[in-house]
Chain A
Amino acid sequence: MEPTETPTQRAPAAALFAALVFVPVLFFSSVIAGREISRLYALAWALFAGGIAYAIAATGRVSSWRRVFFSTSALAFLVHFKLGLAGKAFDPTCFKDTPYCHIAMAPYFLNYLYQQYLALMSAGWKLWGPLTLGAVWLFVTLALGRGWCSWACFYGGIDDGLAALPRRPLLRLGSWALRLRDLPAALLIFFMLVSLASMLPVFCLWFCPFKVTGTFLDAGGWQRTAQHALLYSALAALLLGPLLTKKRIFCSYLCPFAAWQAFWGRLNPFRVTLDPALCTGCVKCARACPMTAISCAPGGRPEVSAYCNLCGECLEACPGAGFKYTLFGLELPKTAGFFKDLFTAKFFYVFSALTLGAAFSSLWAPAALRDIVHWVR
């Protein structure tokens, strides 16, 4: 939208955009959540997503409002799934509530190719079978790409929300931030290879920070101690890392799915692109990027790497408004009329990301709302 317009002038287009997000989210949320709980909760979640869409369109600020949505979704995941699971430890019925974890897809891809192995088999296996999961992943990758990590992932929502809390970083990573940036790619290859060699879900057994409410399969005390140590290290990276550094430490340095999505995300057309004419070389964007995905190219100009997950933080940080959402680096041709404000790569991307993120979160967010209502009563 035109930067000179006030939020009031943007209101009609923002309302239209909100409606465009609200309708599909309501549909998917009703279908997904409405199977087991009242559709009113699905309606509430769709209204929330629509409200976020309105706020983004009215203010023009993507990342701030994205974070509200993203962190709320992650908190809802903790409330419904993890807290619910804590009360059902060792109870076989907890499998009924287990969603399929998307992170488990990447490190066990070779196991899947070899023996159609799925690490986490939930009671919803008919929904989350290999083919449906593969099709959903392909669709998400084509529609959203790396944006998955900044709009839909429940780990990412925690990391992102916590990274926004401190006013300034207490701990600066310095040159190590970029030196270790390829660690997730190495971890991904490592997990793929050792999981295939041992025919075990090595990431889930040894590293998953959410396993803190789960159980360990291995009986050996020594091994379990080592697994606990790694688990709590990963948990610290997820919770303390962003609080200390203002960076998404788990997502940037440890998540194998982030590396997986950075690779396959190239299939997706959406990009964050810098207009060199508007760049003063202040590198505020690099400092603001929570994923350490912006580095200084020779000449002092910022360079956006494949690890960018299109969160939009650099768009808000750049004083010269040099960053833009584009389609393969290109902007859409300008149009006239009522829809002109929405006919941009930015709003196509936000629509795609927010709708998909909200639809995916329907697996737990409406149920979390139901849980909270029950607790309050």
Chain B
Amino acid sequence: MPALFSEGFLLGLSTGFYCLAACLPLLAPYLLAEGKAAWKFNFAIFLQFLGGRFAAYMLFALLASLAGKAGRYALPAQLLPACMAACGLLMVFLAAARVSAGGAPCLLKKDLSPWFKRLPLALGFVTGINVCPPFAAGFIRLLEMADIPKGFAYFGGFFGATSLFIAPVLLGTPWLGRRANEIGRLTLLLAGLWYSFLGLKGLLVN
């Protein structure tokens, strides 16, 4: 088991920058939009985000191991675009709902509960289910192993290593102000529309 954890960890270390590049369009606008000039608050957002991402990784580890046991070695074609569309729509929702709190332009002017306005856990989860190339490499390894505890260990290591690459995002947050929040919300909206478009295109056209 430790050997598999190390193997996943090394995969994460060697490909972590790809994970960072894939996660940044989701995490950075969210931190920009919701972060405050208080490091602890931003760290709490980051931990929730990581928690959501960890849950997604473990879910995929479970699914991959089960699929491997069942002898199915391919993901459903619609899964990836569906994940991307879900991710994009959640981002649009978060941006539009949160934007309504200020005087900034918005599409949805609804006074939502703060619980629904801040959902880094869900954002982390949809980030986790968006399969990037290093994740796909790990996924294939899990299909091959077809063992649930080993799968958890492997993806646990992978998660730990890739999180090291994402953590420096926090460094820029202590200087966030109200204007940066507004810019972050607009960015979150744009990125959400982008992923929604790509996901829906994948679902409807391909």
Which A residues are closer than 8 A to B by beta carbons? 114, 176, 179-180, 182-183, 185-187, 189-190, 193-194, 196-197, 199, 220, 222-223, 226
Contact = CB atoms under 8 A, between A and B. Distances in A.
B205 interface: yes
B51 interface: no
11 contacts: A179-B103, A185-B186, A190-B187, A190-B190, A190-B191, A193-B28, A193-B187, A196-B21, A197-B22, A197-B24, A222-B201
B186 A182 contact: yes
Given A176-B105, A180-B105, A189 B17 contact: no
Nearest to A186: B186
A185 B205 CA distance: 32
Interface in B155-195: 179, 182-187, 189-191, 194
A194 B186 contact: no
B35 interface: no
Contact of A190 (B22, B25, B179, B197): B25
For the residues of B in contact with A, the DSSP-based class is helix
Interface of B: 17, 21-22, 24-25, 28-29, 32, 103-105, 179, 182-187, 189-191, 194, 197, 201, 205
Contacts of A193: 24-25, 28-29, 187, 191
A211 B186 CA distance: 25
A223 B205 CA distance: 10
B201 A189 contact: no
A255 to B, nearest CB: 15
A185 B183 contact: yes
Given A179-B105, A197-B25, A226-B197, A189 B205 contact: no
A109 to B, nearest CB: 13
B25 A194 contact: yes
Contacts of A187: 190
Nearest to B17: A114
Given A194-B191, A197-B22, A197-B25, A186 B105 contact: no
A190 B105 contact: no
B187 A189 contact: yes
